[in-house]
């Protein structure tokens, strides 16, 4: 008889525990996990942010923007994890967030592929995933809620159209543009869009693409890759860098090898083109004309992501893909505006 009462007691207790888990998603995170809670305020909306790394000034500005938006926001807590450029670290971070039962996962994915399983795990745990900056290539797009970031291919089209107009204005024949591409992290949305934009413009205009290699969006790799390209080719006159940190590295390599960096291609100068417009040194180079043109890439996504989450908290629907507006910078007066896909963009001084 006693045994029967004991069994009934345990049955009731486990049923109560189950009811509790289902209805208090926002308040009992520590109880649902064996992972340290890292100071999570269990009464707040908890956001786990998996940043891909700290490879560039753009990335650091993006991290700061996210931290500022969430640390200052009443009722929100941010759990930050740096993936150090490795997708495996980011996958581990997302799994940790799932174990911690955060309310939202924000992911800045290093590359596009390889996310299906872990995003399915987040879906199974009923945690919405918001992508920031780069995109993922998944078989089921409903695995993420929404995305905010740049149109990287449009950035590339703008810089390439600037180069096209510059060449026309200065009487430079398309076949005399000998371009090398210092690519970003291969397989990342930023690299895919910027490389594609260049190759399409080269095909359309008849430019010569001399070489392309991954420089990983870093200054150190930019310098190394540029130095090795200079050893392999003697006709490079345009260096298309897929971000400003690579451009700074490339300029250092060019100058160390005795080249003059500038826009006077017909008189032997080597032109550098770039993306971002957030690094102070790169902007100074642009003011001096050492970087001829920069396609802006805006990293300030913190408030954008936070307001998306606020909308989701209110049960509002938001657009799946959210592109930010971006400018194009050049200190040279040869091209004042460009038109891409029927849209006119003024060239702004850096
Ligand atoms: O995905 C955005 C790109 O990544 C930025 O252009 C670059 O600087 C960063 O590392």
- Say if ligand 1 is within 6 A of residue 221 CB: no
pLDDT of 21 above 80: no
Span 129-146, mean pLDDT? 98
* CATH topology classification for 152-298+327-348: Rossmann fold (3.40.50)
**How remote is the CA of residue 102 from the centroid of ligand 1, in Å?**
27
**How remote is the CA of residue 181 from the centroid of ligand 1, in Å?**
15
Angstrom distance (rounded) from CA 235 to CA 334: 24
- Say if ligand 1 is within 6 A of residue 59 CB: yes
According to CATH, the superfamily of the domain at 42-149+299-323 is Response regulator (3.40.50.2300)
275 vs 34, more confident: 275
**Picking from 8-22, 168-182, 236-250, which range would have the lowest pLDDT averaged per residue?**
8-22
Which residue's C-alpha comes closest to atom 3 of ligand 1?
190
Per-residue confidence (pLDDT) for residue 14, from 0 to 100: 39
35 vs 302, more confident: 302
Per-residue confidence (pLDDT) for residue 43, from 0 to 100: 83
Span 268-291, mean pLDDT? 98
- Say if ligand 1 is within 6 A of residue 155 CB: no
- Say if ligand 1 is within 6 A of residue 194 CB: no
pLDDT in tens, 57-108: 999 999 999 999 999 899 999 999 999 999 999 999 999 999 999 999 999 9
- Say if ligand 1 is within 6 A of residue 243 CB: yes
Per-residue pLDDT band at 33 (split at 50, 70, 90)? very low
**Picking from 29-38, 255-264, 299-308, which range would have the lowest pLDDT averaged per residue?**
29-38
**How remote is the CA of residue 196 from the centroid of ligand 1, in Å?**
16
Per-residue confidence (pLDDT) for residue 38, from 0 to 100: 53
**Pocket of ligand 1, candidates 52, 220, 241, 243: which has the most ligand atoms within 8 Å of its Cβ, to mutate?**
243
pLDDT of 23 above 50: no
Per-residue confidence (pLDDT) for residue 72, from 0 to 100: 81
Span 243-260, mean pLDDT? 98
- Say if ligand 1 is within 6 A of residue 216 CB: no
pTM of the entire predicted model: 0.89
Are 42-149+299-323 and 152-298+327-348 the same fold in CATH? Answer: yes
Per-residue confidence (pLDDT) for residue 11, from 0 to 100: 42
* Ligand 1 atom closest to Cα of residue 299: 2
**Picking from 15-29, 178-192, 212-226, 229-243, which range would have the lowest pLDDT averaged per residue?**
15-29
Domain locations along the chain: 42-149+299-323, 152-298+327-348
Per-residue pLDDT band at 39 (split at 50, 70, 90)? low
296 vs 27, more confident: 296
**How remote is the CA of residue 217 from the centroid of ligand 1, in Å?**
7
Per-residue confidence (pLDDT) for residue 36, from 0 to 100: 39
pLDDT in tens, 311-324: 999 999 999 999 99
Which residue's C-alpha comes closest to atom 2 of ligand 1?
190
% of the chain beyond a pLDDT of 90: 87
């Amino acid at each position: 008889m006693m045994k029967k009462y004991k069994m009934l007691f345990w049955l009731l207790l486990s049923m109560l525990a189950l009811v509790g888990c289902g209805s208090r998603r926002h308040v009992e995170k520590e109880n649902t996990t064996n992972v340290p809670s890292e100071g999570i305020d269990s009464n707040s909306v908890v956001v786990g942010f998996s940043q891909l790394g700290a490879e560039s000034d753009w990335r650091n500005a993006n991290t700061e923007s996210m931290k500022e938006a969430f640390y200052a926001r009443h009722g929100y807590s941010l759990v930050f994890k740096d993936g150090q450029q490795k997708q495996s670290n980011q996958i581990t971070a997302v799994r940790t967030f799932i174990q911690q039962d955060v309310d939202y996962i924000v992911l800045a994915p290093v590359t596009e592929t390889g996310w299906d399983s872990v995003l399915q795990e987040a879906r199974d745990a009923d945690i919405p995933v918001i992508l920031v900056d780069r995109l993922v290539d998944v078989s089921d797009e409903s695995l993420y809620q929404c995305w905010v970031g740049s149109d990287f291919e449009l950035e590339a089209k703008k810089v390439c159209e600037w180069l096209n107009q510059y060449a026309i204005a200065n009487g430079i024949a398309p076949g005399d543009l000998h371009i090398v591409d210092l690519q970003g992290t291969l397989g990342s949305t930023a690299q895919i869009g910027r490389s594609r934009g260049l190759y399409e413009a080269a095909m359309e205009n008849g430019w010569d693409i001399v070489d392309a290699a991954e420089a990983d969006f870093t200054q150190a790799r930019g310098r190394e890759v540029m130095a090795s390209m200079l050893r392999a080719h003697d006709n490079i006159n345009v260096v298309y860098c897929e971000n400003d940190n690579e451009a700074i590295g490339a300029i250092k390599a060019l100058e160390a090898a005795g080249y003059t960096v500038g826009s006077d291609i017909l008189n032997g100068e080597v032109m550098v083109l770039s993306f971002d417009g957030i690094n102070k040194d790169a902007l100074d180079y642009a003011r001096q004309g050492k970087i001829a043109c920069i396609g802006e890439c805006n990293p300030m996504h913190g408030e954008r992501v936070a307001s998306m989450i606020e909308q989701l908290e209110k049960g509002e629907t938001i657009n799946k893909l959210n592109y930010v507006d971006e400018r194009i910078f050049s200190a040279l007066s040869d091209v004042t505006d460009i038109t891409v896909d029927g849209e006119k963009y003024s060239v702004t001084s850096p």
